[in-house]
Amino acid sequence: MTAIRLTSASVRDVGDWQVCPGCRGLLYRKRLERDLGVCAECGYHTQLTARQRIAQLVDAATFVELTHEAIPGDQAGRDPIGFGDRRNYPKSHAAAAEKSGEVEAVVFGTAEIDGFEVVVAAMDFRFMGGSMGSAVGECVAVAAERARRTRTPLLLVTASSGARMQEGCLSLMQLAKTAQAMAGLRQDGVLSICVLTNPTFGGVSASFASLGHIVLAEAGALIGFAGPRVIEQTVRQELPAGFQTAEFLLEHGMVDGVVARPGLRPLVRRLLSVHRPDDRKPRKVSGAPPVRRAKRLGSRDPWEVVRRARHVDRPSTTDYLSLAFDEFCPLNGDRTFGDDPAIVGGPARIAGHRVMVIGHQKGHTTSDRLASNFGMAHPEGYRKAHRLMDYAASLRLPVVCLVDTPGAFPGIEAEQRGQSAAIAECIMRSSTLPVPVISVITGEGGSGGALALATADRVLMLENGFYSVISPEGCAAILWRSAEEAPEAARALRITAPELLGLGIVDAVVPEPEGGAHVTPEVAADNLRKAVAEYLGELADVPTNELLSQRYQRFRAYGKWQASEVRSA
Give the annotated binding-site residues for Zn(2+). Answer: 20, 23, 39, 42
For residues 395-406, one letter each, b for 16 or more C-beta atoms within 10 angstroms of the residue's C-beta and e for the rest, the string is bebbbbbbbbbb
> How many Cβ atoms are within 10 Å of 188's Cβ, its own excluded?
13
Q: Is 364 left (phi over 0), alpha (psi -120 to 50) or beta?
A: alpha
How many Cα atoms sit within 13 Å of 385 on the Cβ side? Answer: 35
Q: In terms of Cα–Cα distance, which of 451, 468, 370, 437 is closest to 403?
A: 451
Q: Residue 64 in 3-state DSSP?
A: strand
Q: Which residue ranges make up the annotated binding site?
A: 20, 23, 39, 42
* Cα 219 to Cα 239: distance, rounded to the nearest angstrom: 20
* Cα 347 to Cα 343: distance, rounded to the nearest angstrom: 14
* Cα 464 to Cα 506: distance, rounded to the nearest angstrom: 13
* DSSP conformational letter for 374: G
Distances from the Cα of 80 to the Cα of 76, 215, 240, 513, angstroms? 11, 32, 40, 72
DSSP-assigned beta bridge partners for residue 508:
460
The answer for residues whose C-beta is within 8 angstroms of residue 335's C-beta and 6 or more apart is 210, 253, 254, 383, 387
DSSP calls for 163-207: B-GGGHHHHHHHHHHHHHHHHHHHHHT--EEEEEEEEE-HHHHTT
**Backbone CA torsion sign across 397, 402, 408, 409:** negative
Single-letter amino acid code for the residue at 202? G
Indicate the burial class of 412 (C-beta count within 10 angstroms; 0-12, 13-18, 19 or more). exposed
In 6-127, where do the E strands start and end?
Answer: 12-14, 17-19, 26-28, 64-65, 106-113, 116-123
| Greatest distance between any 2 Cα atoms in the chain | 95
> How many Cβ atoms are within 10 Å of 565's Cβ, its own excluded?
9
* Cα 355 to Cα 320: distance, rounded to the nearest angstrom: 14
Q: In terms of Cα–Cα distance, which of 97, 162, 94 is closest to 133?
A: 162
The answer for residues whose C-beta is within 8 angstroms of residue 478's C-beta and 6 or more apart is 470
Say if strands 17-19 and 26-28 run parallel, antiparallel, or are unpaired: antiparallel
* Cα 135 to Cα 138: distance, rounded to the nearest angstrom: 5
